[in-house]
């Protein structure tokens, strides 16, 4: 009658007073497996965080249901001066409402609006 083989954990050396001990044979297998698992885990988490991470987004509120936010104006319609937001914080986007000042104070950033004006204005 064949004796069923013991699970791997039962074949491992006993725990000594100094802690858990692994034989050389176990280390030969365990170290590469641990390295592959660590590298694989890092790569998977890095890939998943890159896919779902919103940290790189500058536009947090404007037309988020649109795949791209684009505004177009005719020069004739601008008048003598137009001030456009470049910080994406304005509640009047695409026009600047001064929200960049608070953003700069909170973040240490230095963004400001794009101002277009007629030379004679
Ligand atoms: S509010 Fe965005 S640049 Fe002024």
How do residues 83-109 score in pLDDT, each as one tens digit? 999 999 999 999 999 999 999 999 999
Cα of 79 from ligand 1 centre, angstroms? 19
Q: Are residues 100 and 120 both part of a single domain?
A: yes
Q: Are residues 79 and 50 both part of a single domain?
A: no
Task: Pick left, alpha or beta for residue 19 (phi over 0 → left; psi -120 to 50 → alpha; otherwise beta).
Answer: left
Question: Does residue 2 fall inside a structural domain?
Answer: no
Question: Does residue 6 fall inside a structural domain?
Answer: no
Domains in the chain, number: 2
Pocket test for ligand 1, best of 58, 59, 87 (most atoms within 8 A of CB): 87
pLDDT value of residue 116: 95
Cα of 25 from ligand 1 centre, angstroms? 64
Which CA distances in Å does 27 have to 36, 38, 90, 113?
Answer: 14, 16, 59, 61
Q: Are residues 61 and 49 both part of a single domain?
A: no
* Residue 40 belongs to domain spanning: 22-56
Distance CA 36, CA 43 (A): 10
Residues in the chain, pLDDT under 50: 1, 53
């Amino acid at each position: 009658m064949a004796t069923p083989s013991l699970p791997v954990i039962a074949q491992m050396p006993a725990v000594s007073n100094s802690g858990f001990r692994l034989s050389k044979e176990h280390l030969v297998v365990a170290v590469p497996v641990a390295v592959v698992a660590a590298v694989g885990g890092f790569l998977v988490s890095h890939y998943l965080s890159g896919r779902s991470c919103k940290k790189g987004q500058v536009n947090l509120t404007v037309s988020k249901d649109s795949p791209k936010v684009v505004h177009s104006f005719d020069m004739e319609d601008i008048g003598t001066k137009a001030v456009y937001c470049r910080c994406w914080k304005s509640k009047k986007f695409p026009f600047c409402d001064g929200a960049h000042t608070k953003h700069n104070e909170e973040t240490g950033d230095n963004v400001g609006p794009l101002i277009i004006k007629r030379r004679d204005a």
